[in-house]
Amino acid sequence: MSEKEKEKTTISVIKADIGSIAGHHKVHPDTMAAAAKILAEAKRKGLIIDFYVTHVGDDLELIMTHRKGVDSPEIHELAWEAFKKAAEVARELGLYAAGQDLLAEAFSGNVRGLGPGVAEMEIVERPSEPIVIFMADKTEPGAFNLPLFRIFADPFNTAGLVIDPRLHDGFKFEIYDVYEGRYVVLNAPEEMYDILALIGTQGRYIIRRVYRKSDNEIAAVVSVERLNLIAGRYVGKDDPVAIVRAQSGFPAIGEILEPFAFPHLVAGWMRGSHFGPLMPVGLRDAKCTRFDGPPRIVALGFQVSKGRLIGPVDLFDDPAFDETRRLAQQVADYIRRHGPFMPHRLGPEEMEYTTLPQVLEKLQNRFVKEERRYKVHVKKPSSHSE
């Protein structure tokens, strides 16, 4: 049987904030049960093969396997109905921000653009198909830029790039410009500096997909929905999800988790308006409290076998990450002391969807224009490098 004739499995991770207990804190078990009931019925009817419902902070996470391919209207409508039912329960319970991420009244064929975040990949399963599903709270999709670069392009993190012949040719990065709605595909290691030049601007250029260069096999995918750009106002942070394939031609599980041992600074936290450390935690600690944070990330490991989800393993629920969590708390202490000042508060381009525009409008007539007493000289870039 050829590769094209082999049966393909689609893994879909779709998330939404449909309301939580005591502020932006934690999903209520009853809302998870309502969503699980919808998915269980879909599994009984054969629409999906398997599913797992969980949460990270105030985000309800739906993990599904099926044969419908990426961007299937049937699967997206199923997720939408699960979120709508969960939101109904949230409203009955009087939960905070019930239905927050559901930006439309009706489903229109695809949940992209309607509020929920989506990461999907279609694969031909290997004899053993381990995957890691990452789910973050209180941050944005660009939070995955640094770890994904280290996983798939940094030999100091991923030894397999040097010593494993199946990884040695490198990977391709599909980088998405969320402001212009366009993307570019760049190769590592050849175009490493070009990749870094883009993805260092996490709020705009986001690693959306990673492919193995030797055969164009999908290796990772990230949700890139930016809620403020969709809604035109601040309605909550994007709280991205990602799927990463592991082992046997892809980085090992340990190589995939290693970048998160450094709690790098990400945008989000309180009101989506502050930088803070991304703290890897187990599911039991996936609730954001201090200053509605710090930003959290959970990693669940599954085996995918004929579409079945075997697992999960709660990968960050491990004392090996205790020092990372301790460092994250020290960083949180330090950066919180900046209060409303940058670099704790985001820059003006990211504050566009908060109260800052109204403050500037209110004060517009009170700004006094004065004649400059000095000239500003802008040095033009030379045509040659020095």
d(CA 280, CA 168): 28
Identify whether the C-beta of residue 274 lies closer than 8 Å to the C-beta of residue 288: no
Residues 6+ away with beta carbon under 8 Å from 146? 199, 202, 259, 264
Residues with a catalytic annotation lie at 17, 234, 237
Strand spans (E) along 5-128: 9-16, 50-56, 59-66, 117-123
Question: Which two tokens mark 84?
Answer: 């709508």
The full DSSP string for 130-172 is EEEEEEEESB-GGGGHHHHHHHHH-TTT-THHHH-TTTTT-EE
Q: Which residue has the tokens 């750009």?
A: 229
Q: Beta strands 279-280 and 296-305: pairing type? A: parallel
Return phi, psi of residue 4, to 5°. -65, -30
